[in-house]
Each structure stands twice: as structure tokens, then as C-alpha cells.
């Protein structure tokens, strides 16, 4: 794609094309020049994923780039979402329409892969809104939160991170596409099913043949543990067999006992059902939430209100509970 674009004092030929290996170092330098907006990517990572980049050249110089990542990384890829990442325009070239051309070229390229939706996490939601993206709740892309945001080095809590989640639904000749919520209800594409299978990492607290307990990445209180079934995928309490519920509550009791042994003053067991009941992930689960000594009164529910300082602190809380269970 070639076009003429007028600069402050000249016209420059702009080329937008798929990247090749010669572009790897300039891409790396451009991303590094935007540390407040982008996650820095090592040169090796860019080289390994060079086929997913699109670049913008003007006056013989790389002035823009964007890439994409397939989500989730496990499950039914034919019904995956795709995240647009590493979107950058060199500061001296902003305000000339290049960003819009780049994103539109990426949307066209990604749409050919037939994803359910294209998502982006951005500090400039108004820019993406003008291109057709709509704001969505981060809870609607929990597979992204668990598989990517939990490893972010810039923000400890994805729910208080200032980036805005947005989605674009590609046009399809096959009729309406499924929504992200619909994907999560599919057994082979359920976030918690993948955590139970080990395809998405978690800070494990307890595991047996039928049940897994792990730390919530957006805790209400530090030590906030989720208890899920490994053998049955059901959405809510009233859809879950009695024997599965018995297994979940038996493990919740063990976790509660471990919290008391670990020195907490008390704990809450919470079970939410359906979106209007506060359920974020449509896979049956219990919340076991420790309360520090002296913190009396009802639980003030606010997801992510007590984030871990870093991965080391999260790991320390998991180990504290595992030791109490031993």
C-alpha cells in the first residue's frame, strides 16, 4: 500500500506493508522509544514474530508498526479472538493520519483470519472508537487478563490499569459472529477449564483429582482464593451436580481452615451466579477470602481492591496457604 502524505514542509511517500526480518531492529527501537505507552519487546521476540507485524515507512524510514496475538493460546482456535499489540507511530509523524491507516490495514489483515473479535488495550480509546472499536469490560476478556496481563511489568493490577479494553467485530459473510461471552461458555474455550488443564498458569494453593484452588489475580483481600471444578464445566450453582458441589465446598472448608492456621482472623466464602449476580467467569467457582485480624464487619466487595505488589508477593501468599494445608 503506497500513498502520498503531506508533511510540515514536504510530501513523502508512505508505504504500509507486512514486515520482514530487515525491519526487526527498527521496530525494536520504535517500541523502546514509547516506554510509557507500550510494553518493551526484546529483539528476539520481535524476530520470532516478525510475520505478525505490519510496518509504515515514510521517506525511507520506519515510522510506525503494529502486531497481533491470537487469544486464547489454547482451546478452539477457530473461535479465537485476536489482540492488536505494539501499535506505535513515531512522535514526529503523528497527526497526519498514519495511525488510522495503520490500524485499518491491521484490521483488514486480521479479519482475514476470521477471529470472533479484534481486541486492543489502549490509552487512546477515542482514536480507536472512530475506527469502529467499542469499549468493553475487562471482565469480558478474562482469558487475556490471566494469560497476559498477570505478567505485565508496568501495572500490578489489570483492573486498575489505565488502559481501556476495546473490541471490533469483523464483518463476516457467514452471518453474525459469536460474542466473547459466548466463547467463554464453550467447554473447550473456558478460561477456568484451561487453568485447570494447566495451559494457563496460576498460583496454585491446592489441587486434587477433581478440584483446583488458586489465588485470584484481582484479589478483594490478599490471599483471595478461587476453588474450581476440574471435572465438570457448568456455569452456576443450580446447574452443577450435587456431588461436584460437595467436592468444591469440602475444599473451600480446607482452604478456610488453612487460612486460620496461617494466622488470619477469619474468612468469607462467596459464590456468585450469572453476570447480574456478579459472576465474571461462567464456570462454577467459590471465592474463599481471608480477613486479617481486626478487620471486622461485612466484606466490602471490590475486585482488585487489594492487589499484590508483585509476583513475588503473590507467590509468598500462595506458599503461606500451601504450608498451612500441609
C-alpha–C-alpha distance, residues 122 and 128, integer Å: 8
User: Could you say which of 224, 233, 283, 285 is catalytic?
Assistant: 285
Largest CA distance in the chain: 74
> What is the Cα–Cα distance from 197 to 74, expressed in whole angstroms?
10
Task: State yes or no: is 285 an active-site residue.
Answer: yes
Q: Which three cell numbers stand for residue 177?
A: 459472529
Yes or no: say if 119 and 167 are a contact pair by the CB < 8 Å rule: yes
Using alpha carbons, select from 109, 86, 103 the residue that is nearest to residue 40: 86
Query: Residue 247: which of 268, 182, 183, 255 has the closest Cα?
Result: 255
Select from 247, 284, 290, 252 the least CA-distant residue to 268. 290
Residue 271 near residue 287, CB atoms below 8 Å = yes
CA distances from 165 to 62, 119, 296, 306 (A): 27, 7, 35, 21
Provide the annotated active-site residues: 285
Amino acid at each position: 500500500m503506497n500513498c502520498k502524505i503531506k508533511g510540515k514542509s514536504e510530501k513523502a511517500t508512505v508505504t504500509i506493508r507486512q514486515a520482514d526480518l530487515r525491519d526487526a531492529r527498527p521496530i525494536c527501537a520504535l517500541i523502546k522509544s514509547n516506554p510509557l505507552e507500550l510494553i518493551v519487546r526484546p529483539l528476539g521476540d520481535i524476530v520470532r514474530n516478525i510475520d505478525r507485524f505490519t510496518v509504515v515507512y515514510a521517506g525511507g524510514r520506519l515510522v510506525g508498526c503494529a502486531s497481533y496475538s491470537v487469544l486464547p493460546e489454547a482451546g478452539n482456535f477457530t473461535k479465537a479472538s485476536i489482540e492488536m499489540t505494539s501499535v506505535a507511530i513515531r512522535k514526529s509523524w503523528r497527526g497526519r493520519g498514519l495511525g488510522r491507516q495503520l490500524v485499518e490495514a491491521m484490521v483488514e489483515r486480521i479479519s482475514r483470519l476470521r477471529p470472533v473479535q479484534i481486541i486492543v488495550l489502549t490509552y487512546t480509546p477515542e482514536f480507536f472508537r472512530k475506527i469502529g472499536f467499542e469499549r468493553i469490560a475487562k471482565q469480558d476478556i478474562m482469558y487475556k487478563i490471566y494469560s497476559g496481563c498477570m505478567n505485565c511489568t508496568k501495572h500490578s493490577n489489570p483492573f486498575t490499569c489505565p488502559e481501556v479494553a476495546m473490541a471490533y467485530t469483523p464483518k463476516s459473510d457467514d452471518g453474525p459472529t459469536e460474542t466473547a461471552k459466548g466463547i467463554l461458555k464453550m467447554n473447550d474455550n473456558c478460561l477456568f477449564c484451561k487453568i485447570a488443564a494447566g495451559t494457563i498458569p496460576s498460583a496454585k494453593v491446592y489441587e486434587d483429582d477433581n478440584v483446583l484452588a488458586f489465588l485470584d489475580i484481582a484479589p478483594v483481600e490478599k490471599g483471595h482464593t478461587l476453588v474450581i471444578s476440574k471435572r465438570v464445566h457448568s456455569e452456576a450453582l443450580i446447574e452443577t451436580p450435587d456431588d461436584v458441589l460437595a467436592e468444591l465446598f469440602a475444599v473451600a472448608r480446607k482452604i478456610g481452615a488453612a487460612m486460620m492456621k496461617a494466622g488470619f482472623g477469619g474468612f468469607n466464602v462467596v459464590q456468585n451466579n450469572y453476570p447480574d449476580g456478579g459472576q465474571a467467569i461462567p464456570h462454577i467457582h467459590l471465592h474463599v477470602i481471608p480477613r486479617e485480624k481486626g478487620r471486622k464487619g461485612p466484606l466490602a466487595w471490590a475486585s482488585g481492591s487489594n492487589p499484590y505488589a508483585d509476583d513475588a508477593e503473590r507467590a509468598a501468599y500462595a506458599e503461606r496457604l500451601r504450608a498451612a494445608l500441609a
